[in-house]
Structure 1
């Protein structure tokens, strides 16, 4: 039971990371157009770029995501062998996250997504220093 719960937690974290990558790009593009200053935050943007960068590199070198491996090992340790044994949460999170496809499809998809993230660095530039008007607000 504990292994199954741990596997569900690993899966939820994995889905959270995928959501961060996808929603991070979407919010950066929308926020850049809408003037949201937080989408230019250097820590958010560096974390976002690093996350998709790791995914792209893993795809190119043929490394299986460690979260996938860890979840699988935990499920096996918990006696699970297939989707029929998964909890409700695990079943649906897995169905959203995983699908069958040729390796080149994943490499291409991850790479194009990574290039889109890099493109936002030019179209929605990162704010590397604090806001310029911060000093004037302190004086007022």
Structure 2
């Protein structure tokens, strides 16, 4: 029997990860320009880079995100009636692209974030 509450929790986690990844694409360069020290925190930047690496490798392998797979398994691959805001959010999260489209898109985003490590280097130790 599908477990919709667990599926909703997985979707919420998925949404938070997407928000973190997308925010980093903007916050890192803008924060560097504005002199924000948070954009130079190594653990935060490595987390961002690592999460995008996982997404990119999955896309290059032609696989859906593991969170999407879990959510689909829990809901039985059917879409229950949802509030309008939830439908809008799902349209933002789940795009109808071929696998190669995701691979190209995620590879480009990963290369952009990799370039940010060069142009906006992060600290690996405490600064004086």
Whether TM-score is above 0.5 comes out as: yes
Instruction: Measure the CA separation in 2 of the matches of 1:87 and 1:6.
Output: 15
* 2:125 is the counterpart of 1:129: yes
TM superposition score normalised by structure 1: 0.84
Contact 1:11–1:90 (CA under 8 A) maintained in structure 2 = no
Instruction: Measure the CA separation in 2 of the matches of 1:117 and 1:86.
Output: 37
Structure 1 segments of 4 or more deviating over 6 A? none
* 2:78 is the counterpart of 1:81: yes
Q: Which runs of 5+ in 2 are unaligned?
A: none
> Displacement, 1:90?
4.1
> Displacement, 1:104?
1.7
Instruction: Measure the CA separation in 2 of the matches of 1:105 and 1:3.
Output: 31
Aligned with residue 106 of structure 1, among 94, 98, 102: 102
Contact 2:2–2:74 (CA under 8 A) maintained in structure 1 = no
Q: Secondary structure at the match of 1:131?
A: coil
Q: Which runs of 5+ in 1 are unaligned?
A: 133-140
> Displacement, 1:116?
0.5
Shift of the 93–6 alpha-carbon distance from structure 1 to 2, 3 Å rule, reads farther
Shift of the 47–24 alpha-carbon distance from structure 1 to 2, 3 Å rule, reads same
TM superposition score normalised by structure 2: 0.91
* 2:111 is the counterpart of 1:118: no
> Displacement, 1:120?
0.6
Please say which structure displays the higher CA radius of gyration: 1
Count of aligned residue pairs for this structure pair:
127
